[in-house]
Amino acid sequence: MNSNEKDFVFGKHAGLDFLKTQNADRINKIFLQENLQASLTNEVYTLAKKKKIIVQLVPKSKLDRLVAGANHQGLVLTIASFEYAALDELLDQFERQEREPFLLMLDSIEDPHNLGSILRTADATGVDAVIIPKRHATGLTSVVAKTSTGAIDHVPVARVNNLVQTSQMLKKRGYWLFGTDMTGTDYRKWNSNGRTVLVIGNEGKGISRLLKEQMDQMLTLPMVGQVQSLNASVATGVLLYQMLNSRNPLQ
């Protein structure tokens, strides 16, 4: 994204969390709704004073216009557009850590709410980085930030030109790739130890054919109900907690 573009972080939890992180230096201005509860107002002013950020009190109608009617809870931050991590730098960094890295690759997730929810679960389960494509997918937006409730600031997101080529590069660096499909190995048998990449497909089409050909194994979520599909963020959550269980089994 162009560094001169502007975006928003809004909502009480997402806004305060952003103010408390090192990313706060990207905040241009804080818009705070008039006549909010004193506790939130005081906390915002205290944090803004430490970061030397301007706070402007405005009516609710202005905040409604800024975020197109979304639920801002009286707090909107205007910031420089969200920054993406460089994948090569991340991989080099992971080479130096003791534990084996776990990466999450998202094949054309289009709904920003899904991406935000996935980032939230990725943070909770210790995912090292998320990889998304530059085209035909949602990027990091204010809606993603709001839905992630601050996780967007803690999970590195790399955006790449071609997921197939990226998968080939990762395999050369010793990573195993696991995809999701209606026919595959029961996810409860999945051993996620080692350098691992979990690939989640598009909400409607799943993993693209060429990318699926790069997978070392396909995983299936068994379903016994009448509806034989799950929301992308829900399916990702189930698989990420299986990863966490596999890497950190109960003693």
Closest CA to 152 of 46, 81, 75: 81
Digit-coded pLDDT (tens) for 161-207: 999 999 999 999 999 999 998 889 999 999 999 999 999 999 888 99
Looking at domain 6-80, its CATH class is alpha beta
Question: What is the residue extent of each domain of the chain?
Answer: 6-80, 87-247
What tokens were used for 216? 């070392």
Q: How many CA atoms lie within 13 A of 180 on its CB side?
A: 29
Digit-coded pLDDT (tens) for 132-167: 999 889 988 888 988 998 899 899 999 999 999 999
Measured CA to CA, the distance from residue 92 to residue 223 in angstroms comes to: 39
For residues 84-102, give the mean pLDDT: 95
Provide the whole-model pTM: 0.76
Q: In CATH terms, is domain 87-247 a member of 3.90.1640.10?
A: no
| Number of helices followed by number of strands (H, E) in the chain | 9, 10
Q: From the CB of residue 177, how many other CB atoms can be counted at a distance below 10 Å?
A: 22
**DSSP three-state, residue 222:** coil
Measured CA to CA, the distance from residue 39 to residue 126 in angstroms comes to: 32
The one-character DSSP state at 232 is H
**DSSP three-state, residue 49:** helix
What tokens were used for 147? 């839905």
